[in-house]
A and B are shown apart, each in its own frame.
Chain A
Amino acid sequence: MTKTALIIIIFLAAIAAGILVGPAPLESQILQLRIWRVVLGVFAGGVLAFCGCLLQGLFGNPLVEPYTLGSASGAALGASVGILIFGAINPALAFLGSLGVGFFVYVVARIEGGILRDRLILAGVVMSFLCSSLVMIIMVMGGRELYEVLYLLMGYLGTIIDATNRTMIIALIVVSLVLAALLYRFHRELDIISQGTETAASLGINIQRFSLILFFSSALLVGMTVSIVGAIGFVGLIVPHVSRLLFGPKHRFNLAASFILGATFLLFADMLSRTITVYELPVGVVTSLVGVPFFIYLYRK
C-alpha cells in the first residue's frame, strides 16, 4: 500500500514539475503549452509502458516491447512519409504505418489454423529493421525535413497543439485510454500465460484469439501514440521491469503501475530534455541517457 501511495505522490510531483519547471517565465501562454506537454507525456509514457507490460506478459519474454513487434517502427515510417509529402507529421499516415506493419507481421506468422507466436516476434524484429532503412532513405531524400524526422524518431512532446489538430489529438487520447482500460481485464490471462500456452489452454484460454486481440490492440495503441509524439524508445521496455521489481509479477498491479510509472518517467525525462542544454533535446535521447544507469542500478541493488 505504501508503495502505491509513493508512486502516486511521485507521479503528481512529476506533473507539477512538468508544468512549473522551465527556463521561460510562467505566462498564460507558456502555461498552456506546458499543460499540453504534460498531457502528452502522461498519455505517451503511460500507454507505451502499458503496452510493453502487456506484450512482455503475452509472449513471456522480457525483451519484447512495442518496437519488437514492428508497430512503432511502422508508425515512424508512416509519419516520415507524411513529413516528406505534407511537410508535417500526419497522424493518419503514422497510424496506417503501424497497422500495416502489424498486419504484415501477422500474415508472416500465420499458418493454417492459427499463428506461430515465436514467428510473430521474429517477423516484428525483421520488419523494424526494414522500416528503419526506409526511414533513412526518406531522411536522405528529405534534406530540409531531416531535422523533423530526427525528432520524430527520437520522440518529441512539444508538438504544437492548436485549433487545427486539437480535436483529433483529444480523440486519439480518449480512444487510447478507453482501449487500455478494456485491455486491463486480461490481467488474469496474462498471469496464467506466463506458465506456457499449453497450461493456459488447459485452463480455458483461447490462446489464438487472445494473442491476436492483444497484438492488434497494442499495435493500435502504439500507432496512436507515435502519431502524436513520435517513436519514444526505452519506456516500453524498461518500465514494466521496474514495475515488477516493485510490485511482483501479478498483472493486476503491473498493468496499472506500468502506466503510472511510464507517465512519471516520461514527464521527468521531458523536463530534463527542456532544461539540461540550451537546445531542446528529443525526449527519447533523455529516456535512454537517464534510464539506462537507473535501470542498471536497480538491477544490481
Chain B
Amino acid sequence: MTALETKEICFSYDARRVIDNVSLAVESKEFLGIIGPNGAGKSTLLRLMCGILEPESGHVALFGQSLAGQTPRLIAQQVAFVPQETHFALNFTVEDIVLMGRYPYQRPFGRDKAEDIEATDQAINAAGIVDLRKRPVNSLSSGERQRVVLARAIAQTPRILLLDEPTSHLDLLHQYRIMELLSNLNARGLTVAVVHHDLNLASLYCRRLVVMHHGKVHCQGTPGQLLTEKILNEVYGTEVRIIRHPDKDVPQVFLHTEGQHEDRQ
C-alpha cells in the first residue's frame, strides 16, 4: 500500500523553482531515505509531503486522500514531522514538550486526557529520555533535544514519520541512538522517510533511497544500486570512492582526496 504519494508537484520560492514536477511514492512501513546535494529540494519536498507547504501544482495524497481536502489537525494525526533543529523560545520541561505532540487530538478548553498522558509516557520510554523528563529543555545537549523532539513526534502516534536531517550536528553516539530508534519504530510498523546528508548513515539504515537533484527525482532504488561512483559524481560533482561496510553488505562512501600523495612523502 502507498502511504504518501506526491503527484507531479511543483513549488517555487519567489521565482526560483525548487521542486520541479516530482512524483514520488512512499510505501507503507518502508524506511525511505531522501538524499542529494544542498539546494536539491529535499527539505522542501518533505514540507510539501506533510502539508506545511502547499504545492503550486499537482497534489499530495495521504493513504489515497488528497491533503488539500483535509484539515491540518487531521493530517497531523497521521503524519509527524521532525525539523532539523528546533529553537525553544520558552523553556518548557521535556514532558511538557512531548505532551504537545497530543495537540491534534485535543479540544480547546479540554484537559489532558488519560490517553494523552499514556501516549506521552510511552513516547518518553521509547525515546529513552525517562531520566530527562523533568528537565527544562534548554538545559539539554543538542542530541538530547533531538530525542525530545522525536519523542514529541512519537506521542503524536502518527502512521508516517518525516524527518529532516535528524542526525546533523550530532556526535557518533547520538547519531547511532537516533538511527537505531527510527529503525525500531520502523520495525514496529511505522513508515519512515528521512532526508539525509550523511550518505553512509542513509546506506546503513534506509532500505530504499531517492536521489534528488535540481528539484527533480534523479533516480531511486536500494543503497547498493544508487551509491555508485558514477551516480554520486553526476549528482554531487565530486569524485568518490565506494567500499563495502565491514559488518553489513552495504556501500559506504569516501571522498577521493587530491592531496594523498603529498601526505605520503
Interface string of A230-245 (1 = CB under 8 A from B): 0000000000000010
Select which of B47, B89, B92, B156 is within 8 A of A203 by beta carbon.
Answer: B156
Which of A192, A201, A205, A244 counts the most chain B CB atoms within 10 A? A201
Q: A203-B76, A206-B72, A249-B92 are in contact. Are A191 and B100 (CB under 8 A)?
A: yes
Q: Is the CB–CB distance between A203 and B103 below 8 Å?
A: yes
Q: A191-B92, A250-B92 are in contact. Are A201 and B86 (CB under 8 A)?
A: no
| A202 CB–B CB distance under 8 Å | yes
Comparing B104-112, B224-232, B256-264, the segment that makes contact with chain A is: B104-112
| B90 CB–A CB distance under 8 Å | yes
Interface string of B159-197 (1 = CB under 8 A from A): 000000000000000000000000000000000000000
Determine the residue in chain A with the shortest Cβ distance to B162.
Answer: A202
Q: Is the CB–CB distance between A185 and B108 below 8 Å?
A: yes
Which of A198, A205, A206 counts the most chain B CB atoms within 10 A? A198
Q: Is the CB–CB distance between B97 and A195 below 8 Å?
A: yes
Question: How many chain-B residues does the 8 Å CB contact rule pick out?
Answer: 32
Question: How many chain-A residues does the 8 Å CB contact rule pick out?
Answer: 23
| B75 CB–A CB distance under 8 Å | yes
Residues of B53-107 whose CB lies within 8 A of A: 71-77, 79-81, 83, 86-92, 96-97, 100-101, 103-104, 106
Select which of A57, A194, A203 is within 8 A of B88 by beta carbon.
Answer: A194
Interface string of A182-197 (1 = CB under 8 A from B): 0001101001101110
| A25 CB–B CB distance under 8 Å | no
Q: Is the CB–CB distance between A195 and B87 below 8 Å?
A: yes
User: Chain A residues in contact with chain B, CB under 8 A?
Assistant: 57, 60-61, 185-186, 188, 191-192, 194-196, 198-199, 201-206, 244, 248-250
User: Chain B residues in contact with chain A, CB under 8 A?
Assistant: 47, 50-52, 71-77, 79-81, 83, 86-92, 96-97, 100-101, 103-104, 106, 108-109, 156
